[in-house]
């Protein structure tokens, strides 16, 4: 059985690495930032829809009953 703390540590390490890589890229290529902001907004919207779908299990991810 997988160890939950090990899984959390792995996810945390990966997220920190991804954040450092993005900061590195954006510091050297600020013109790429605008496109990434849109990507992040879209991802946050998708996460909100997923959270709503999970909190209302009688509906599927597409809002169908």
C-alpha 8/C-alpha 3 separation (Å) is 9
Measured N-to-C along each axis, helices 33-55 and 4-28 cross at an angle, to the nearest 10 degrees, of 150
**pTM summary value:** 0.42
Residue 65: per-residue pLDDT: 58
Block residue for tokens 């160890």: 3
- In the chain, domain spans: 4-55
Digit-coded pLDDT (tens) for 12-62: 787 788 778 877 877 787 777 767 777 777 777 787 777 777 766 555 556
């Amino acid at each position: 059985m997988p160890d939950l703390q090990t899984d959390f540590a792995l996810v945390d390490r990966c997220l920190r690495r991804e954040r450092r890589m993005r900061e590195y890229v954006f510091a050297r290529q600020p013109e790429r930032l605008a496109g990434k902001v849109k990507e992040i907004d879209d991802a946050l919207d998708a996460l909100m829809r997923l959270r709503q779908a999970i909190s209302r299990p009688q509906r599927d991810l597409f809002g169908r009953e």
